[in-house]
Amino acid sequence: MAAAAKSVFEPDYGDVDRGVLSVMAPPGIRYWLWVGFLAALVLVGGATWTNQVYRGLGVTGLTQPTMWAVYITNFVFWVGIAHSGTLISAILYLFRTRWRTAVYRCAETMTVFAVTTAGLFPIVHLGRPWFFYFLAPYPNERSLQPDFRSPLVWDFFAISTYLTISSLFLFMGLIPDLANAREASSGWRRKFYGLLSLGWHGTDEQWRNFSMAYLLMAGLATPLVLSVHSVVSFDFAMAQLPGWHSTIFPPYFVAGAIFSGCAMVLTLIIPLRKIMGVENLVTAWHLDNLAKIILLTSLIMSYSYACESFLVWYAKDPIELETFYMRYYGPQGWIFWLMIFCNCVIPLLLFSPRVRRSMVTLFIISLFVNVGMWSERFVIVEGSLAASFEPSQWRYWHASFTEVTITVASFGWFLMWFSLFARFMPIVSMTELKEGLGWLRQAIRDSYSRAA
């Protein structure tokens, strides 16, 4: 009895290693069927995009005045999703937050693949995607230079910097765990993990250098959490369109990004911990804390929505008033109210500790938030364009097969890479869990006592 109680409530270093490494065991047929299904989605999306490139954007619903709609919505949505990863892995690391250890690797992985997914959309939505490299300042003989006044060029630098830093940060944190995996594996896996672990043997010097480098990387990544989505918000705020031209956008977008990103972490990690049997490493206590961040950012979002509407009402600009009236009561007004319901009303349930500790309700709430945040991006991007300066030009975007397919395929693309990573790489950090073993034991005891 005593031995059984210890294994549940007081895992030691070996339990942590075994728990995480068991996830990396060779996968079964169901796993490959799942990955195959996602790969098929990606292929269908790729074929649809090829058709779009060949026939032109006329196959989509994009036309004057809604030249930007679902593709840019997806772009902003995925960039937003990417944000919480760096918040959890870098900012909370600097603050020495205890609960991040179990979830940060998952969040960071999500960040890298979400940025990769987001980066596809500015190219997908181009009329001439084969010239996307015109955005890069590369030496050439045709005097081609990007115009640095354009927020799209800022985007290019912001997103590529973010992808570089977040990938490096993810990889750096993985090194000790990969060495662990190397020691526990054989055959090609041993070679593979051996190659990636860069000769890590856990010497004192290696740990000293690693800790310092990790701290510096966290410091480097921290400003990016604020800057990247601020830059994305400039795409809109810099244009003079009603519904876009607002100084509230940068903080509003950053809060929304953290909100949606934390929700996506929950959406991914709740099924993952069940399927992969790591419920004792990623405990209800960890997710409870994540839910509190969602609640906080939801309140910030509610304030932002109210503030945005108040500013329009107070300024009394007739064009802006009309655009917002159409946003609330126009043909697509239901999307706005869906957004309010998902982002402002549903998360209020998280005030209840019981809701925060129920995996089922947390998962459902996270899905609502994902839907709500996608709707928010759509309302801002498409809604503002559809009803802006010229009433004679008001026209709403209509869904097309091409855009819906490519949007669904983007989820396939993201989940495919995430699923591959989760099975072949340590999706929970052994190093950090072992560093904070006391906290983990406390969290497990806490989870069990509350459940009892």
Partner 1 sequence: MTRYAMVADLRRCVGCQTCTAACKVSNSTVRDIQWRWVLDIEAGEFPEVTRTFVPVGCQHCAEPPCVEVCPTGATGVRPDGIVFMNYDTCIGCGYCAVACPYQARYRLEGKGYAYATPMETERNGRSPLQLGTVSKCNFCSDKVDAGRKRGLVPGVDPEATPACVNSCIASALYFGDINDETSIVARLVRENETFRMHEELGTKPSFYYLWDKKQ
Site for partner 1 contains 331 (CB under 8 A): no
Handedness of CA 309, 311, 313, 318 (dihedral sign): negative
Query: Taking contact as CB under 8 A, which single stretch among the options 51-59, 197-205, 218-226, 426-434 is the one that binds partner 1?
Result: 51-59
Q: Smallest distance, Å, CB 239 to partner 1?
A: 4
Among 3, 5, 14, 64, binds partner 1 (CB under 8 A): 64
Q: Smallest distance, Å, CB 160 to partner 1?
A: 14
Query: Which 356-385 positions form the footprint of partner 1 (CB under 8 A)?
Result: 385
Q: Is 77 within 8 Å of 377 (Cβ atoms)?
A: yes
Site for partner 1 contains 271 (CB under 8 A): no
DSSP 317: -
**CA–CA gap between residue 303 and residue 307 (Å, rounded):** 6
Site for partner 1 contains 91 (CB under 8 A): no
* Nearer residue to partner 1 within complex by CB, 132 or 310: 132
Residue 198 dihedral angles phi and psi, to the nearest 5°: 55, 40
Q: Smallest distance, Å, CB 326 to partner 1?
A: 15
DSSP 345: I
Q: Smallest distance, Å, CB 147 to partner 1?
A: 4
Site for partner 1 contains 56 (CB under 8 A): yes
* Nearer residue to partner 1 within complex by CB, 124 or 258: 124
Q: Which residue has the tokens 């340590």?
A: 426
Query: Taking contact as CB under 8 A, which single stretch among the options 1-9, 121-129, 198-206, 283-291 is the one that binds partner 1?
Result: 121-129
* Nearer residue to partner 1 within complex by CB, 156 or 336: 156
Site string for partner 1, 284-323 (x = CB under 8 A): ----------------------------------------
Site for partner 1 contains 449 (CB under 8 A): no
Q: Is 263 within 8 Å of 370 (Cβ atoms)?
A: yes
Does residue 387 sit in helix, strand or coil?
coil
Site string for partner 1, 175-204 (x = CB under 8 A): ------------------------------
* Nearer residue to partner 1 within complex by CB, 153 or 168: 153
Q: Smallest distance, Å, CB 324 to partner 1?
A: 17
DSSP 57: G
SS3 letters across 238-289: CCCCCCCCCCCHHHHHHHHHHHHHHHHHHHHHHHHHHHCCCCCCCCHHHHHH
Query: Taking contact as CB under 8 A, which single stretch among the options 128-136, 185-193, 195-203, 303-311 is the one that binds partner 1?
Result: 128-136
Q: Smallest distance, Å, CB 343 to partner 1?
A: 24
Site for partner 1 contains 125 (CB under 8 A): yes
Q: Smallest distance, Å, CB 73 to partner 1?
A: 13
Which residue type, as a one-letter code, is found at position 11?
Answer: P
* Nearer residue to partner 1 within complex by CB, 65 or 250: 65
Site for partner 1 contains 436 (CB under 8 A): no
From the list 267, 319, 263, 313, the residue with the least C-alpha distance to 292 is 263
Q: Is 331 within 8 Å of 361 (Cβ atoms)?
A: no
**CA–CA gap between residue 154 and residue 162 (Å, rounded):** 12
**CA–CA gap between residue 370 and residue 343 (Å, rounded):** 9
Query: Which 142-161 positions form the footprint of partner 1 (CB under 8 A)?
Result: 144-147, 149-153, 156
Site for partner 1 contains 138 (CB under 8 A): no
Instruction: Tally DSSP H helices, then E strands, for the chain.
Output: 19, 0
From the list 293, 214, 303, the residue with the least C-alpha distance to 258 is 293
Q: Give the burial class of 148: count Cβ atoms within 10 A of its Cβ; 0-12 exposed, 13-18 middle, 19 or more buried.
A: exposed
Query: Which 217-246 positions form the footprint of partner 1 (CB under 8 A)?
Result: 235, 238-241
Site for partner 1 contains 34 (CB under 8 A): no
Size of the site for partner 1 (CB under 8 A): 43
Q: Give the burial class of 26: count Cβ atoms within 10 A of its Cβ; 0-12 exposed, 13-18 middle, 19 or more buried.
A: exposed
**CA–CA gap between residue 35 and residue 25 (Å, rounded):** 16
Q: Residues of 299-323 as b/e, b for ≥16 C-beta within 10 angstroms?
A: bbbbebbeebeeebeeeeeeebebb
- Give 52's Cβ-side CA count (13 Å radius): 27
From the list 270, 264, 296, the residue with the least C-alpha distance to 283 is 270
Among 35, 126, 300, 344, binds partner 1 (CB under 8 A): 126
Q: Which residue has the tokens 């010097």?
A: 205
Site for partner 1 contains 122 (CB under 8 A): yes
Among 31, 210, 389, 439, binds partner 1 (CB under 8 A): 389
Query: Taking contact as CB under 8 A, which single stretch among the options 8-16, 108-116, 122-130, 208-216 is the one that binds partner 1?
Result: 122-130
> Which residues contribute to the site for partner 1 (CB under 8 A)?
55-60, 62-65, 67-68, 122, 125-129, 131-132, 134-135, 144-147, 149-153, 156, 235, 238-241, 385, 388-390, 392-393
